[in-house]
Amino acid sequence: MTEPTCGVLIGREHHLPVRIYYEDTDFTGVVYHANYLRYFERGRSDFLRLAGISHTDLAGRDDPAAFVVVRMEIDFKRAAKVDDALTVVTLYDAVKGPRLLVTQRIMRGDELIAQAAVEAACITMDGRPRRPPADMVERLSPLFAKRD
């Protein structure tokens, strides 16, 4: 049995293929807007998984951690439709205290479908903000945007 793909890292960018199925669309065959949130989530999660960081491992640590999205700004540029082959492109830009700053876009070939600016917060299992685990930040730091 083969494992499902968790995408590929190309430089700092994580690329995750997504196929649009009938279940993803509204009655006109266009992707329902809320489903873009799911594609973006998959991109962020699979980026971390490919970098060797799983949500299960984070929750199972001696100092457990999880993430919540605290802000997301989405610009919808084009409609995706049933049978489209899309790519979710994810970049983890920086860690600032408990916050992870992420930029994402969904592409159909060279065509921009949607883009998002995401702010996620690292939390304890009882919902309090905390800094992300140091080993996670160390693992991700080569992939963060270079600062001037």
The tens digit of pLDDT for each residue in 88-126 reads 999 999 999 999 999 999 999 999 999 999 999 999 999
| Nearest of 95, 96, 94, 93 to residue 104 by alpha carbon | 93
Q: List, for residues 46-81, the tens digit of each pLDDT value.
A: 999 998 898 999 999 999 999 999 999 999 999 999
Q: How far is CA 63 from the centre of its chain?
A: 23
With 0-12 / 13-18 / 19 or more C-beta atoms within 10 angstroms meaning exposed / middle / buried, residue 49 is: middle
Please tell me which residue in 26, 75, 83, 135 is annotated as part of the active site. Answer: 26
Active site residue 26: yes
Widest CA span in the chain: 49
This model's pTM is above 0.85: yes
